[in-house]
Amino acid sequence: MDDIDGRGRSGPIVGVLRAARNAGFAVDVDGEKLRVTGPQTRSDILDEIREHKAAIIEAITHPPAGVSHYTERMKSGIEWLSTCWDKLLDGATSGGVSYNDGEAMADAFAANLERWYNLDIELRRVYPEFRGCPVGGCRTEAIVSCMHCAAPAESRPQP
């Protein structure tokens, strides 16, 4: 994988963010500040985050180029899925799709839906500095939504 993108990304930041996530931390940028929520008992993680604060802000606000490898596939993926979903609904109501075609399409839909979710998971695992929605905001009526759009409460600042 392209772990270095010319921004010195190969540094400790990815490791720190991964460790933080695994320990149950949410790390995000709020304006110029870093917003960190998580278990107070993990002062080791908090120290790491504090130590690399500036670099973490830089990493989150400037996602590496490799992210687009995922977001582009996910954008065309979500288009395919919504087109397919419309066809499936059409077929179900108008009989426009024969039973066998409809079944094959439903299978393809399910397989691609799973692929799409896996891309979302992989993107956030490979690039733990990535924040937000990979497709620029999943539509509310969409049949799929990314982890960010599906769980807005988690990404909101804690009171």
- The structure tokens listed for 75 are 């954008």
Contact 19, 29 (CB under 8 A): no
- Does 146 interact with Zn ion (rule: CB under 5 A)? yes
Residue (109 or 117) nearer to Zn ion, CB: 117
- Does 149 interact with Zn ion (rule: CB under 5 A)? yes
Contact 26, 36 (CB under 8 A): yes
Q: What is the dihedral of CA 78, 83, 85, 87, to 10 degrees?
A: -170
Residue (7 or 73) nearer to Zn ion, CB: 73
- Does 74 interact with Zn ion (rule: CB under 5 A)? no
Where in 4-147 does DSSP place strands (E)?
Answer: 26-30, 33-37
Contact 58, 87 (CB under 8 A): no
Q: How many residues bind Zn ion (CB under 5 A)?
A: 4
- Does 133 interact with Zn ion (rule: CB under 5 A)? yes
Question: Considering only 21-29, 88-96, 105-113, 135-143, which stretch makes contact with Zn ion by CB under 5 A?
Answer: 135-143
Question: Considering only 1-9, 12-20, 54-62, 143-151, which stretch makes contact with Zn ion by CB under 5 A?
Answer: 143-151
Q: Which one of residues 74, 126, 138, 144 is an interface residue with Zn ion (CB under 5 A)?
A: 138
Nearest Cα residue to 69 out of 10, 122, 131: 122
Residue (44 or 122) nearer to Zn ion, CB: 122
Q: Which residues bind Zn ion (CB under 5 A)?
A: 133, 138, 146, 149
